[in-house]
Amino acid sequence: MAYRVVQYENGRLHVLDQTVLPHQENFVELENLAQVEHAIRTLQVRGAPLIGVTAGFGVCVGLKELPDDTPADQVRSRGREVVERLSRTRPTAVNLFWALERMAAVLAGLDGPNWRSALDAEAEAIFRETLDQDARMADHGMQLLSAGERAITHCNTGPLATGGGGTALGVLIEAHRRLGGLHVYADETRPRWQGAHLTTWELMRHGVPHTLICDNMAAALMRTRGVDSVWVGADRIAANGDTANKIGTYGLAVAARHHGVPFYVVAPTSTIDPALESGEGIPIEERDPAEVSAPGGHRISPGDTPVWNPAFDVTPAELVSAIITEQGVFRGPEYDFRRPPSEE
């Protein structure tokens, strides 16, 4: 990867501010818990896996003010508060809760003076596992691609979304490197334009041929120019394979099914929520109406216009051709994730 997204060292957490890309490449230091919360809520840090990674390090940052000799019971008490506050930042991406549960387990087991190193080690382990998962997902996703593939992607699922190689876009970037000839059509992804701001920036950095399209052009593109596959990420996957992802994904899946185009979801097993039987139970975050009515601070509708602004939608499993995790490629009949899939 040609650029860093997150770095944690000696209690200092730095993240690439994704709200100012592609015009500025600005690293910000998150010095306290409030700044970590703000970074996640305002999308300075975004992408389900990277939210989880940041939350893991965020627990360490939230406890930074405690002296090293703080008794374990006081660390646990403050730690529970930190975990609770971080859990309220974004409701849909399950990776956030997966990472916080791991950090909470370490907090619960603290019984000596080395509490800080124990928490740092667990947060770093979450990050390293994310890097490994990304590489393995790229290897598995390669099975479904060929040289010269024309693919559509939605939102941003590259290194910016994970801190590693990426999920869906990571597969496409790696496939272009190994196979060559890929062309990626990037949905702009209203109302925050992650595809326009972030995905095109990443594709350019990695030398992948690409074309930016408005979200409502995807179906026409499939019909008139031809598309070989659609690749998206996920913020939460239910036990039956129903998938929550950035708003607009469901419509893209419907168009893909109508035109006979394979629709692939790429996400690590930490994105699977086996406790949810179906997508009906996935909480959908609703964001500031101004993202729709006044994008970038420029009002495009009358001030009293009602707005509905869900950040995500749910794609039914029957529209998903395959789900690719670090454990392999899972097709429709295999969507039974009551327990996360494993290699055993």
Position 343 scores a pLDDT of 46
**Alpha-carbon span 153 to 212, nearest angstrom:** 10
Tens digit of each residue's pLDDT, the chain (344 residues)? 457 899 998 888 999 999 999 999 999 999 999 999 999 999 999 999 999 999 999 999 999 999 999 999 999 999 999 999 999 999 988 999 999 999 999 999 998 788 999 999 999 999 999 999 999 999 999 999 999 999 999 999 999 999 999 999 999 999 999 998 899 999 999 999 999 999 999 999 999 999 999 999 999 999 999 999 999 999 999 999 999 999 999 999 999 999 999 999 999 999 999 999 999 999 999 999 999 999 988 999 998 899 999 999 999 999 999 999 999 999 987 888 876 555 43
Residue ranges covered by each domain of the chain: 6-134, 137-334
Position 2 scores a pLDDT of 56
Please state, in angstroms and as integers, the Cα–Cα distance from residue 266 to each residue in 2, 16, 223, 243, 310, following that order: 22, 23, 24, 10, 22
- Is 235 one of the annotated active-site residues of the chain? yes
Provide the angle, in degrees to the nearest 10, between the axes of the packed helices 72-87 and 94-108: 170
Position 101 scores a pLDDT of 96
DSSP 203: H
Domain at 6-134, CATH homologous superfamily: translation initiation factor eif-2b, domain 1 (1.20.120.420)
Fold of 137-334: Rossmann fold (3.40.50)
**Alpha-carbon span 259 to 223, nearest angstrom:** 7
- One of 120, 187, 235, 242 is an active-site residue; which one? 235
